[in-house]
Amino acid sequence: METNEPNTSDIQIPPEMQGQVALTSLDKIYNWGRSASVWPMMFGLACCAIEMICAAASRYDIARFGMEVMRPSPRQSDLMIVSGTVTKKMMPIIVRLYNQMPEPKYVLAMGACASGGGPFKEGYNVVSGVDKFVPVDVYIPGCPPTPQALLNGLMKIQEKIRGESIKGSRWYQKGADMAEIPVPWLGPDLIDPRKVPNIKSGEKV
């Protein structure tokens, strides 16, 4: 079990100040603050959303992790839990919501359908995994994953956040790394603007 203590340096603190002063590095305290208060976006698509609601209910309280503030607005949330099957009709909306979230942002693919299409992978209206359009940080298998499995996945996100560093993170680099993902649109089938050259030339992606 990792400790969540903020005091992580080797410099000795004099005894009369020990209850009041903590010496740490900027990375650790920044990540500690972020990982202990991740705000998920209330984005339940299908059956996995019910297990997410059960995880937010009283038996598997996610308020203990600081995550009970489930904001419906993407502008106020850090983590998008894609819970349920992503369909082609819904895909433009998911990409638009992802673009609207402010950085630093994370995506958790909950369940088999969001990770890789799930049991409905062969359907004509199903996108086989949300990572075809949006970068995913943690995948949780299961159909549906029990709330305890979801809490395990959320703990992995917290570990990932704690392992990041300000100098190396992609949000703060100079230049246009965080370009927005172009929003797909619905024609005779779902059209991804990044693949338009392949559609016209007929080459394999």
Token output for 51: 């297990």
Closest to other proteins by CB, 72 vs 168, is 72
The owner of tokens 């949000």 is 171
Site residues for other proteins, window 89-118 (CB under 8 A)? 89-90, 93, 97, 112, 115-118
Which of 132, 169, 181, 183 contacts other proteins by CB under 8 A? 132
What dihedral do alpha carbons 199, 177, 31, 145 form, nearest 10°? 0
CB of 5 to other proteins, least distance (A): 17
Amino acid at 102: P
66 binds other proteins (CB under 8 A): no
Query: How far is the C-alpha of 83 from the C-alpha of 144, rounded, in Å?
Result: 9
CB of 92 to other proteins, least distance (A): 10
Which of 64, 167, 168, 175 contacts other proteins by CB under 8 A? 64
126 binds other proteins (CB under 8 A): yes
What's 144-175 look like in SS3?
Answer: CCCHHHHHHHHHHHHHHHHCCCCCCCCCCCCC
Distant-in-sequence, close-in-space partners of 109: CB < 8 Å, separation ≥ 6: 82, 115, 129, 130, 131, 136, 138, 139, 140
Site residues for other proteins, window 176-195 (CB under 8 A)? 185-192, 195
Closest to other proteins by CB, 13 vs 181, is 181
Which of 32, 35, 40, 42 contacts other proteins by CB under 8 A? 42
